[in-house]
Amino acid sequence: MDKRIYLCLAHMSGKEQAFIKEAFDTNWVVPLGPNVNAFEDELKHFVGQDKEVVALSAGTAAIHLGLIQLGVGAGDEVICQSFTFCASANPVAYQGAKPVFVDSEEDTWNMDPVLLEEAIKDRIAKTGKKPKAILPVHLYGMPARIDEICAIAAKYDIPVLEDAAEALGSEFKGQ
């Protein structure tokens, strides 16, 4: 079973002022409206019709919601990569859980799969339980070694919550 949840953000294109004016003129300011619905529909088409898409206020909110969906709570540990923006790890703390940082590998600057497995083994040895989730980040449009990360996650039956905020449109092995 695929236990990955994907997160991504849209980037500014220069037409935002016109959309803001339209939102105010039509009184569709918050929380929904035709532009949000259209964005969700286009993104669903882009990522595949079998995926569900929900627009949120920020990538941090998306990670927070993903952690809630995975049942992350007080006393849990979540493996995060060390080289990232704090918004990737902050929602872990919001849930009362502890981020466990794993260093990057030099080719992509993203989570090192070898160090990931070492960290999982370390946490099991020291705490008697496995981490509740793994939170790799695809930095600067550079996909992490997600196949290796997911293989390790599957080996230990740990869900993966991918922060793809900076990677919308990136490809990994043709996908």
Per-residue confidence (pLDDT) for residue 16, from 0 to 100? 80
| Structural domains for the chain | 10-47 (no CATH), 59-163 (3.40.640.10)
**pLDDT per residue as tens digits for the range 67-117:** 999 999 999 999 999 998 888 899 999 999 999 999 999 999 999 999 999
Per-residue confidence (pLDDT) for residue 29, from 0 to 100? 67
Task: Name the pLDDT band for 8 (thresholds 50, 70, 90).
Answer: low
Question: Distance between CA atoms of 8 and 29, rounded to whole angstroms?
Answer: 22
Per-residue pLDDT at 11 exceeds 80: no
Question: Distance between CA atoms of 168 and 36, rounded to whole angstroms?
Answer: 17
Question: Distance between CA atoms of 68 and 164, rounded to whole angstroms?
Answer: 18
> How many Cα atoms sit within 13 Å of 26 on the Cβ side?
13
